């Protein structure tokens, strides 16, 4: 028997990972406000009680650790049983690992990639069969400015976001003919707890302190003063998912737009500068 949550009159069914805090939480609020159905996931579902209370007939909270393949498939199967479909998948779960590359342990690095990359890919692959059957749907991959440029102290995090961007760009080309769209979201600094409890730090090595300590101080000083408004970010993401042809990449915030533009211009300058050395390497 279909769940009472499977309301065919609702506009869309959303599946969002990492909705306990941050942009995922802001997006969940806006989805609910729009009257859509929502599967909100988090490792601890008690953090989602207030979301369910906003619209108990349209919101389902499910436990999900994206690094657990069994949990991923159970959550996706449950969502499909409850709603009958998934229209928008948002891979938002993730965290930042900061420190110099040499300071990071194998365990630190693997956990970072398992969550930010393989977790997102596992959820995506679990949802794709349903989207293919529907011949419709939108996959939103939460990247970062760090997916375009690496910053001091953010080497591992940037590595995960660079990987996610390349994989998502390839995915977009693979599924376009099936009516499935992919949007890579690139937020700058938003006023969430991303610079607070969502960050894990490596054990420092003295030789790196002179380079990384100023960057760490600047990073921590942003907490609570970031210019980005999470609610406005959520509205921009929702708007993108409603477009017939959404952008492949969506930078969010003036900081992101300016920094990404500057980085891409520098890349073009590098291409021009190295062309005399690189172009002649073809066979004559």
Is the torsion defined by CA of 196, 201, 206, 208 positive or negative?
negative
Contact 235, 30 (CB under 8 A): yes
> How far does the chain reach from its first CA to its final CA, in angstroms?
69
Tell me the HSE value of 114 on the side-chain side, using a 13 A CA sphere: 11
Cα–Cα distances (Å) from 137 to 16, 62, 250, in that order, read 14, 21, 17
Alpha carbon distance 267, 262 (integer Å)? 9
Residues marked as catalytic: 143, 157, 161
- 184: which strand partners? 141, 249
Cα–Cα distances (Å) from 272 to 26, 32, 153, in that order, read 42, 48, 29
- Among residues 71, 9, 60, 66, the alpha carbon closest in space to that of 38 is found at 60
- What the block records as the tokens of 283 is 């066979």
DSSP-based three-state secondary structure for 284: coil
């Amino acid at each position: 028997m279909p769940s009472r949550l499977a309301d065919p009159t609702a506009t869309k069914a959303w599946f969002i990972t990492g909705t306990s805090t941050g942009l995922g939480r802001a997006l969940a609020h806006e989805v609910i406000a729009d009257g859509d159905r929502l599967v909100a996931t988090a490792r601890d579902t008690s953090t989602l009680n207030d979301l369910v209370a906003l619209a108990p007939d349209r919101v389902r909270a499910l436990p999900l650790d994206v690094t657990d393949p069994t949990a991923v498939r159970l959550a996706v199967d449950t969502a499909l049983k409850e709603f009958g479909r998934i229209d928008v998948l948002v891979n938002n779960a993730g965290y930042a690992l900061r420190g110099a590359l040499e300071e990071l342990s194998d365990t630190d690095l693997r956990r970072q990639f398992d969550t930010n990359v393989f977790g997102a890919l596992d959820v995506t692959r679990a949802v794709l069969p349903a989207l293919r059957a529907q011949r419709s749907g939108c996959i939103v991959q939460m990247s970062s400015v760090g997916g375009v440029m690496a910053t001091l102290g953010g080497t591992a995090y940037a590595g995960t976001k660079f990987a996610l961007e390349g994989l998502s760009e390839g995915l977009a080309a693979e599924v376009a003919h099936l009516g499935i769209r992919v949007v890579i979201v690139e937020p700058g600094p938003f006023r969430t707890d991303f610079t607070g409890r969502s960050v894990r730090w490596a054990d420092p090595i003295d030789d790196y302190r002179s380079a990384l300590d100023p960057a760490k101080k600047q990073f921590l000083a942003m907490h609570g003063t970031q210019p980005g408004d999470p609610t406005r970010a959520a509205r921009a993401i929702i708007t993108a998912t409603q477009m017939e042809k959404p952008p492949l990449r969506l930078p969010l915030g003036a900081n992101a737009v300016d920094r990404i533009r500057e980085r891409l211009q520098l890349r073009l300058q590098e291409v021009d500068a190295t062309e005399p050395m690189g172009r002649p390497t073809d066979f004559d």
